[in-house]
Amino acid sequence: MPYQVETSTVPFLIVTISYLAVLGFIGWWGNRQNRNLQDFFTMSGSAGAVLSGLAYFSTQYSMSTFMGVPGSIYHVGYAGMSVSVPGIAFSMVIPALLVGRRLIKLGHRYKMLTMADYLADRYESTAIRGLLAILMLIFLVPMMGAQTIGAGVIFTTYTGAPQWVGIVVMGVTVILYCMAGGIRSVMMTDVIQGVLMVVTAVTTFFVSLKLGGGLETINAKLASVDPNYLKFPGHNNSYPWQNYASMIVMWSFFCIGQPHLFTKFFTMKNYGTMFKAVLLGTLGMWFSASFIEWCGVTGAASFPGIPGKESDFIVPLILQEGLPSIVSALMVAGIFSAGMSTISSLLLTSTSAVSRDLYQRILKRDATDEDTLKMSRVVTVVLGIIAIGIGILKPGSIFTIILFAFGGLGIWAAPIICGMYWKRTTTTGVFASVIIGEAFYFLLLTEFKSLSMGFNPLIVAWLVTMMILIGVSLFTKPVSAETIRRHFDDLDKPVKA
């Protein structure tokens, strides 16, 4: 590697241990506030605008945003910022407009806790609940493991310890505060982590400008190497228009199918809370993602020649070179935050898939909420350990694993959208479309890549999913009139005390 991050072990450990201690205290406090299963998974729909807005964006923007994506942009130039920046303005707005208001009403009226609660009720099918729960485990647990990889890299960089040490430290901390306090602890820690992420992103950007001699000088340096760094489709033709369009759609519309983001709407007090949360969350996402991803461009001028995946170190390099050790360590805690905020929501959502959707609703229907709450804490530990193992094994890069899992869950946006806006959508249609859609998505990733025509495979697979869902629904039996009434006509009526 042409550049080596200068280690600052003592300041890093002081900041890291203090930060983790604060998160542990929040987990203890959250445990004391929880009274039942509804509190554990959704705070009984009592979250306010600040909590909801910061929690949503903190969950969506992960370790990949702070390490994997800037490292990718480093090799591409400004065109690489299409990875997520253009979709930032829509990534919370579109889900809120399309499904948010209805989910708040459904959650309050029918005490729904999970995405499977909605789908199973809308399509009168326990089997759909089971299918979603299994797919959630297949995709969400590896996504958790991907988040821990970045922690291992950072810990090794700053202390010289093996990567598994950082992975275990992050994983165990998240397990403890999720197990103790549930969604309350997750969302409270998200507030701290969200603020720290914004501060880290903005600080790193301005430090990178100073190191590069200002934006004009940086652009001149990049243009002297290759003018394509400053325009589309980027260096080495890396980002053609199909990729650009795919990323805008990926990081905005398909958030609807992500269970860990979907359930955030169940926690909100009302529509007014959601509106304020959207404004706050969108601002947080804009600052955190656009500034940190810009550092991939500015860093290319200050630290040229970093090969391959080693460019993932670009943000720590900027921080170490441009800031005092203790301040740099504090900013790196912001990168830790990006991973931990996402892991915690993924872990709690995966826990709900096992304890709520599989255990309480399918395998042991007479289980009480108290039994399920106890089961949830055990499941949290088990799934957390599995995620730690995936992080240590590192089956792929951070961004690759996250993109794969995000796409697999994005297929579910089809039955959600149709279920909310088309009364004719049928249970058979959902089964046929999701199963075929997931299989087709996998084949596009592995065997028939050319069929994607340059777009992300999820875009093509989802269109096929929608066509199958509509086609099969037209020729199969719809759900009962009672269910349609509950999900459409009754939603605007006041809830009975």
Token pair, residue 62, equals 């992960």
What is the predicted pLDDT for the residue at 117? 92
For range 464-493, the mean pLDDT:
93
State how far the Cα of 32 lies from the Cα of 28, in Å rounded to an integer: 7
Task: Provide, rounded to the nearest whole percent, the portion of the chain with pLDDT above 90.
Answer: 28
What is the predicted pLDDT for the residue at 367? 85
Q: Distances from the Cα of 451 to the Cαs of 244, 410, 468, in angstroms?
A: 18, 19, 18
State how far the Cα of 163 lies from the Cα of 155, in Å rounded to an integer: 7
DSSP string, 221-272: HHHHH-GGGGSTT-GGG---HHHHHHHHHHTTGGGGG-HHHHGGGGGBS-HH
Residue 5 lies in a domain: no
* pTM for the model: 0.83
What is the predicted pLDDT for the residue at 330? 81
State how far the Cα of 5 lies from the Cα of 313, in Å rounded to an integer: 8
Residue 295 lies in a domain: yes
Mean of per-residue pLDDT scores for the chain = 84
State how far the Cα of 29 lies from the Cα of 3, in Å rounded to an integer: 43
For range 75-83, the mean pLDDT:
82
Contact 281, 56 (CB under 8 A): yes
Residue 425 lies in a domain: no
What is the predicted pLDDT for the residue at 6? 52
Cα 490 to chain center, whole Å?
Answer: 32
| List of residues 6+ apart from 202 with CB closer than 8 A | 287, 291
State how far the Cα of 89 lies from the Cα of 252, in Å rounded to an integer: 8
pLDDT tens readout for residues 280-309: 888 877 877 889 889 999 999 999 988 877
The beta-carbon contacts of 72-75 under 8 Å, at least 24 apart in sequence, are 72/296, 72/311, 72/399, 73/293, 73/296, 73/297, 74/296, 74/297, 74/299, 74/300, 74/306, 74/311, 74/314, 75/235, 75/236, 75/238, 75/300, 75/311
Number of structural domains found in the chain: 1
Place of tokens 């950007």: 205
Token pair, residue 164, equals 């598994």
Token pair, residue 471, equals 């086609």
State how far the Cα of 287 lies from the Cα of 215, in Å rounded to an integer: 18
Residue 273 lies in a domain: yes
Whether residue 176 is predicted with pLDDT greater than 50 in this model: the reply is yes
Residue 452 lies in a domain: no
Contact 416, 257 (CB under 8 A): yes
pLDDT tens readout for residues 105-147: 998 888 888 899 999 999 999 999 999 999 999 998 888 888 7
Whether residue 83 is predicted with pLDDT greater than 70 in this model: the reply is no
Residue 319 lies in a domain: yes
Task: Provide, rounded to the nearest whole percent, the portion of the chain with pLDDT above 70.
Answer: 91
For range 311-321, the mean pLDDT:
84
* Domain extent at residue 390: 12-399
pLDDT: is 491 or 133 the higher one? 133
pLDDT: is 196 or 318 the higher one? 318
Token pair, residue 492, equals 């605007």
Whether residue 2 is predicted with pLDDT greater than 50 in this model: the reply is no
For range 389-414, the mean pLDDT:
84
CATH code for the domain in which residue 168 is found: 1.20.1730.10
pLDDT: is 292 or 62 the higher one? 292
Q: Please say whether the dihedral angle defined by the alpha carbons of residues 410, 412, 418 and 424, taken in this order, is positive or negative.
A: positive
CB atoms inside a 10 Å sphere around CB 217: 12
Whether residue 484 is predicted with pLDDT greater than 90 in this model: the reply is yes
pLDDT tens readout for residues 342-400: 787 788 888 888 888 888 888 888 888 888 888 888 898 999 899 899 888 877 666 67
Spatial CA neighbour of 397 closest among 156, 162, 153, 201: 153
State how far the Cα of 407 lies from the Cα of 78, in Å rounded to an integer: 24
Cα radius of gyration rounded to whole Å, the chain: 22
Give the CA count within 13 Å in the CB-facing half-sphere of 325: 12
State how far the Cα of 265 lies from the Cα of 99, in Å rounded to an integer: 9
State how far the Cα of 12 lies from the Cα of 299, in Å rounded to an integer: 22
For range 198-215, the mean pLDDT:
92
pLDDT tens readout for residues 421-463: 999 999 999 999 999 999 999 999 988 888 888 888 999 999 9
Residue 436 lies in a domain: no
What is the predicted pLDDT for the residue at 1? 43
Query: How big is the chain, counted in residues?
Result: 497
DSSP-derived secondary structure letter, 477: P
DSSP-derived secondary structure letter, 47: B
Residue 416 lies in a domain: no
What is the predicted pLDDT for the residue at 227? 92
Place of tokens 């075929």: 436
Task: Work out the angle at residue 354's Cα, subtended by the Cα atoms of residues 434 and 22, and round it to the nearest 5 degrees.
Answer: 115
